[in-house]
């Protein structure tokens, strides 16, 4: 692990491990005197995005307080480096407005009246309710809904131990479309690009600052660039990432698949594809398209059929759709072909999450990888499943037997994750109710579209019986809970995390810094909240104790999973949970630890991370295990099966494991899409997004060329609508923002706290000479918001843009709120489902335990745009399509900065229009969804089938 240690006297210097027990720095506040300060350095893991970079907490030996956070040089993915959000953890833990004690409401939901309660009371209340629900076979009424995930597997285990189908996530407003595109090719739903070794890197959208593996990927992209790689970025907006690129392609949003397929056409037509790879590693023999059936035909005939099929995606067509010049498209295609197996790419949010059909760009991008043979290669595209390591704990419960249609409804059988953003509409339609609801670091009222529908749901006690917000901060959603339960930040909790950051596998260990240090000094704690500020708990211990409260005597079969593997019948401790994993499930860790005379747990507490393996490539070529080969058979399509289950595939004479798809190969032709009623998309295709210009025209009653209402809902504007129709890009973010939690990170909020409307000068002129700072009114399908304009050339003409992650608001002026980041608002329901919000006061300096809050100099908290968006479930992936067709005009005399209006009756109508485009289950054999497609917290196979009655 010494590879990661960087020493020297420059800024990249990281303290060497041998000095972590007593690290000296001069006190900057005492300067020019040279006063020494001594620190204990304790590793932990950042909680401010999913990258899970390694932090080092600097604990002042004199005060026992964490003084700052820097990078952990022993962490294999982040290698001692952090983005701005890592060090800002210091603000979060010392935030004077944070939640410190369990709180219970003592007025109506949303009235903002709270009293302190005890953890025992919380456990008793929820334990009793959940026990009753499970015993009465109403387990589906218990739901855990995660916003920021920050751990691997422990919640899956907990919910399966309870026997319920109750896991909900935020993924369908985040990345589901990209995931579906990848998954249909190779089962793994995320890429793991080997940027550092690539020769050409193509990023779609503001990949880096949109937060996906921000720091670990950014440093490897720079490694690749320094070794000579070229970087191209496709994004309508000149993002920070695009500004560092060799080529910026500002596509009109939603047209990216057209550009990618045009590149594929160039590579095919110029015969620059890797024929051996395509022949060996795709399911080309299953392909049926345009009357051509590959079965029994030659590979050459297949290539001709593909060329014919993609003939329509000429660079000129792509230019017309996207605005990117045909010669740029051709040049980029040739660069990709030249990079060959060293072509890396990434696509996550942006085009994937903004657009109807946003899963097609991932399908099209993968076609480029398949044609260049850059799958599984050094410098190419690897699979997340190859690089993410999730060790299993002791005693894994069996899969649950039930299927919860509030999570996976029949309309979207191919959704990769739960249809979480439609929950208020599902409850409104009478599909079910929730008895006990846990929102976990999750703020849908603010981060989701259609937040007022969430407020309506959350305040309705018929629909949601009991709601606990597990959160480190006050939030717009916590406001409508019955209990607000304080959870810890990066240095206040245990979690185990791994991500696919590079071509290797690692695990990182988050730990409660104060508890660890005090236990090192000989103190003993039963629970982490005893060592944390206030009574901030960690979830691991909360779930263990809640499980005991549900099943106190063990008769429900739940408690057994939360008993110690070392002390039969005794309550499991976190040391035992992680200690067992490190001893038994992490290859190489016990041996490495013992070389230093440490137990595996001591090793992880000391270093905070462990690299399990490196240089992971081409796992598809691994031979099928001898045990699997015994008594196996080879099916007609070359798939090797054992007891009816696929275990590999024949490639030439070799039986290799291949990919986890039905064909065990990369699925160029998706029979799954054919079987599940989308035969027209069996090959990667392009179709027009809901914000395509043709959809703009259709919304205004104009005949639009190629507009097909079968795929795209028509926006219905009110009769008296005014303003110019535009596409709004709402899903980029300024790179220092962290959803709700930037609200209590003062350093970050100081850097950026306003989200104006980006307008290109061409459009500013069209809109009547708009200038920066002018007040604009943006109408969505269900309401409007009012904000300032920012005239900039950093955005392609024809679209407008506004950063999300800003526009926090609070109903109480001073109590139980985040004051440094939110506007104080007047929130009113002026008619049934008609909501108005007006800012009464922006941010201002205030007295608190932290003298810095008196120095708050900014007053703007931004404008909450997401709450004015209706839901747009993609008919195939189920993902919310974030881009909005809007009407933009100058604000009127009665409009004020930050004004918001929404009619949730309209939002329900928009939901119905989008739902009508879906093609519901059942699929073949009465299935709810394909058995081979993963599901979060997967039930037993029998639950995948509709019951006969």
Binding residues vs ligand SF4 (CB under 6 A): 46, 48-49, 51-53, 78, 82-83, 85-86, 214-215
Residue 735's contacts (CB-CB under 8 Å, 6 or more residues apart) are 83, 84, 208, 209, 214, 240
579 CB neighbour count, 10 Å cutoff = 18
CA separation for the pair 347, 134 (Å, rounded): 41
Indicate the residue among 78 and 532 with the shorter CB distance to ligand SF4: 78
Indicate the residue among 78 and 282 with the shorter CB distance to ligand SF4: 78
Taking the CA atoms of residue 586, residue 590, residue 595 and residue 599 in that order, the dihedral angle to the nearest 10 degrees is 120
Indicate the residue among 83 and 180 with the shorter CB distance to ligand SF4: 83
Smallest distance from ligand SF4 to CB 86, Å: 3
Cis peptide before 270 (omega within 30 of 0): no
Indicate the residue among 341 and 742 with the shorter CB distance to ligand SF4: 742
Residue in 755, 833, 882, 915 with CA at minimum distance from that of residue 356? 882
Smallest distance from ligand SF4 to CB 346, Å: 14
| Residue 944 · residue 401 · CB < 8 Å | no
CA separation for the pair 201, 241 (Å, rounded): 12
Indicate the residue among 207 and 230 with the shorter CB distance to ligand SF4: 207
Smallest distance from ligand SF4 to CB 251, Å: 26
Indicate the residue among 84 and 478 with the shorter CB distance to ligand SF4: 84
What are the CA-CA distances from residue 881 to residues 429, 494, 874 (Å)?
21, 34, 6
| Residue 201 · residue 190 · CB < 8 Å | no
CA separation for the pair 83, 749 (Å, rounded): 15
Indicate the residue among 267 and 748 with the shorter CB distance to ligand SF4: 748
Smallest distance from ligand SF4 to CB 423, Å: 27
Smallest distance from ligand SF4 to CB 54, Å: 9
Indicate the residue among 46 and 806 with the shorter CB distance to ligand SF4: 46
599 has which bridge partners?
none
Smallest distance from ligand SF4 to CB 219, Å: 10
Smallest distance from ligand SF4 to CB 712, Å: 35
What are the CA-CA distances from residue 861 to residues 174, 183, 587, 824, 902 (Å)?
23, 39, 48, 10, 20
Indicate the residue among 44 and 78 with the shorter CB distance to ligand SF4: 78
Cα 99 to the center of its chain, rounded Å: 25
Smallest distance from ligand SF4 to CB 639, Å: 40
Smallest distance from ligand SF4 to CB 181, Å: 24
Indicate the residue among 102 and 488 with the shorter CB distance to ligand SF4: 488
Indicate the residue among 78 and 341 with the shorter CB distance to ligand SF4: 78
CA separation for the pair 201, 192 (Å, rounded): 13
* Beta strands 464-471; 434-440: pairing state: parallel
Indicate the residue among 86 and 600 with the shorter CB distance to ligand SF4: 86
| Residue 576 · residue 564 · CB < 8 Å | yes
Smallest distance from ligand SF4 to CB 221, Å: 13
Smallest distance from ligand SF4 to CB 211, Å: 7
Q: Which residues of 422-461 are buried (b: 16+ CB within 10 A; e: fewer)?
A: bbbbbbbeeebbbbbbbbbbbbbbbbbbbbbbbbbbbbee
- The CA R_g of the chain, rounded to the nearest whole Å, is 27
Residue 915's contacts (CB-CB under 8 Å, 6 or more residues apart) are 411, 873
Smallest distance from ligand SF4 to CB 41, Å: 17
Residue in 354, 360, 252, 231 with CA at minimum distance from that of residue 732? 354
Indicate the residue among 83 and 478 with the shorter CB distance to ligand SF4: 83
CA separation for the pair 655, 718 (Å, rounded): 62
Q: 519: burial class by Cβ within 10 Å (0-12, 13-18, 19+)? A: middle
Smallest distance from ligand SF4 to CB 215, Å: 4
What are the CA-CA distances from residue 561 to residues 155, 358, 396, 543 (Å)?
12, 40, 8, 11
Residue in 272, 515, 244 with CA at minimum distance from that of residue 371? 272
Indicate the residue among 46 and 776 with the shorter CB distance to ligand SF4: 46
Smallest distance from ligand SF4 to CB 235, Å: 19
Q: Which residues of 376-389 are buried (b: 16+ CB within 10 A; e: fewer)?
A: bbbbbbbbbbbbbb
């Amino acid at each position: 692990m010494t590879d990661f240690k960087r020493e020297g006297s420059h800024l990249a210097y990281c303290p060497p491990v041998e000095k972590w027990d007593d690290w000296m720095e001069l006190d900057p506040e005492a300067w020019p005197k040279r006063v020494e300060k001594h620190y204990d350095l304790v590793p932990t893991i950042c909680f401010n995005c999913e990258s899970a970079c390694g932090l080092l907490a600097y604990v002042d030996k004199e005060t026992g307080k964490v003084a700052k956070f820097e990078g952990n040089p022993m962490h294999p993915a982040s290698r001692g480096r952090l983005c701005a959000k890592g060090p800002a953890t210091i603000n979060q833990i010392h935030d004077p407005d944070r939640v410190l004690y369990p709180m219970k409401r003592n007025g109506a939901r949303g009235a903002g009246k709270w009293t302190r309660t005890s953890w025992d009371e919380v456990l008793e209340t929820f334990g009793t309710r959940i026990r009753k629900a499970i015993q009465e076979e109403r387990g589906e009424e218990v739901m855990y809904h995660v916003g920021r995930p920050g751990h691997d597997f422990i919640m899956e285990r907990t919910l399966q131990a309870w026997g319920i189908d109750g896991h909900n996530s935020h993924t369908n407003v985040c990345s589901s479309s990209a995931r579906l595109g990848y998954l249909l090719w190779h089962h793994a739903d995320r890429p793991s690009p080997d940027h550092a070794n690539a020769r050409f890197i193509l990023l779609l959208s503001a990949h880096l600052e949109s937060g996906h593996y921000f720091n670990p990927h950014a440093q490897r992209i720079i490694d690749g660039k320094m070794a000579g790689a070229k970087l191209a970025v496709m994004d309508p907006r000149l993002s920070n990432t695009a500004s560092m690129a060799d080529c910026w392609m500002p596509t009109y949003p939603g047209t990216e698949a057209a550009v990618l397929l045009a590149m594929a056409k160039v590579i095919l037509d110029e015969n620059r594809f890797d024929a051996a790879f395509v022949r060996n590693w795709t399911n080309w023999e299953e392909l049926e398209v345009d009357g051509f059936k590959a079965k029994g035909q030659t590979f050459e005939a297949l290539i001709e059929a593909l060329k014919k099929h993609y003939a329509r995606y000429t660079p000129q067509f792509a230019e017309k759709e996207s605005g990117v010049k045909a010669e740029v498209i051709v040049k980029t295609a040739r660069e990709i072909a030249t990079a060959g197996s060293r072509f890396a790419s990434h696509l996550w949010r942006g085009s994937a999450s903004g657009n109807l059909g946003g899963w097609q760009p991932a399908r099209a991008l993968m076609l480029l990888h398949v044609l260049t043979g850059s799958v599984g290669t050094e410098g190419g595209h690897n699979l997340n499943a190859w690089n993410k390591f999730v060790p299993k704990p002791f005693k894994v419960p069996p899969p649950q037997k039930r299927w919860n249609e509030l999570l996976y409804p029949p309309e979207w059988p191919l959704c990769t994750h739960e249809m979480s953003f439609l929950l208020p509409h599902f409850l409104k339609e009478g599909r079910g109710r929730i008895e006990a609801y846990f929102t976990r670091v999750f703020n849908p009222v603010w981060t989701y579209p259609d937040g007022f529908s969430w407020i309506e749901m959350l305040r309705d006690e018929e629909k949601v019986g009991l709601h606990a917000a597990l959160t480190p901060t006050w939030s717009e959603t916590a406001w409508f809970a019955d209990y607000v339960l304080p959870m810890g930040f990066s240095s206040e909790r245990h979690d185990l995390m791994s991500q696919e950051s590079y071509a290797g596998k690692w695990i990182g260990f988050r730990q409660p810094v104060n508890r660890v240090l005090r236990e090192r000094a000989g103190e003993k704690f039963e629970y982490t909240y005893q060592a944390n500020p206030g009574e901030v708990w960690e979830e691991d211990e909360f779930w263990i104790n809640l499980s005991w409260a549900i099943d106190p005597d063990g008769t429900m079969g739940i408690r057994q999973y939360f008993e110690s593997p070392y002390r039969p019948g005794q309550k499991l401790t976190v040391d035992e949970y992680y200690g067992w994993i490190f001893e038994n499930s992490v290859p190489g860790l016990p041996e490495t630890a013992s070389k230093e005379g440490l137990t595996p747990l001591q090793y992880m507490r000391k270093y905070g991370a462990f690299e399990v393996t490196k240089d992971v490539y081409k796992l598809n070529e691994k031979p099928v295990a001898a045990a699997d080969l015994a008594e196996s058979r080879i099916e007609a399509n070359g798939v090797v099966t054992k007891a009816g289950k696929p275990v590999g595939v024949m490639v030439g004479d070799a039986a290799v494991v291949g990919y986890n798809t039905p064909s065990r190969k990369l699925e160029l032709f998706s029979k799954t899409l054919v079987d599940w009623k989308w035969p027209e998309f069996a090959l990667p295709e392009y179709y027009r997004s809901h914000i395509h210009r043709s959809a703009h025209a259709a919304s205004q009653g104009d005949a639009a060329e190629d507009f097909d209402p079968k795929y795209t809902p028509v926006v219905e504007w009110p009769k008296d609508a005014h303003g110019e129709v535009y596409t709004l890009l709402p899903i980029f973010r300024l790179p220092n923002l962290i959803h709700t939690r930037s609200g209590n990170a003062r350093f970050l909020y100081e850097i950026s706290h306003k989200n104006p409307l980006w307008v290109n000068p061409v459009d500013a002129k069209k809109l009547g000479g708009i200038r920066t700072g002018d007040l604009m009114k943006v109408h969505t399908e269900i309401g409007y918001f009012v904000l300032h304009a920012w005239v900039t050339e950093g955005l392609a003409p024809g679209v407008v843009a506004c950063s999300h992650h800003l526009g926090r608001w609070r109903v109480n002026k001073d109590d139980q709120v985040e004051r440094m980041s939110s506007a104080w608002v007047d929130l009113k329901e002026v008619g049934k489902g008609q909501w108005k919000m007006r800012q009464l006061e922006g941010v201002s300096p205030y007295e608190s335990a932290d003298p810095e809050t008196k120095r708050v100099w900014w007053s703007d908290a931004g404008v909450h745009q997401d709450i004015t968006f209706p839901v747009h479930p993609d008919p195939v992936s189920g993902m919310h399509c974030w881009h909005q067709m809007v009407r933009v005009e100058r604000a009127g005399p009665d409009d004020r900065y930050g004004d918001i209006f929404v009619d949730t009756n309209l939002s329900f109508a928009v939901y119905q229009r989008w739902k009508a485009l879906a093609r519901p289950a059942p699929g073949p054999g009465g299935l709810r969804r394909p058995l081979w497609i993963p599901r979060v917290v997967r039930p037993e196979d029998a639950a995948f089938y509709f019951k006969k009655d």
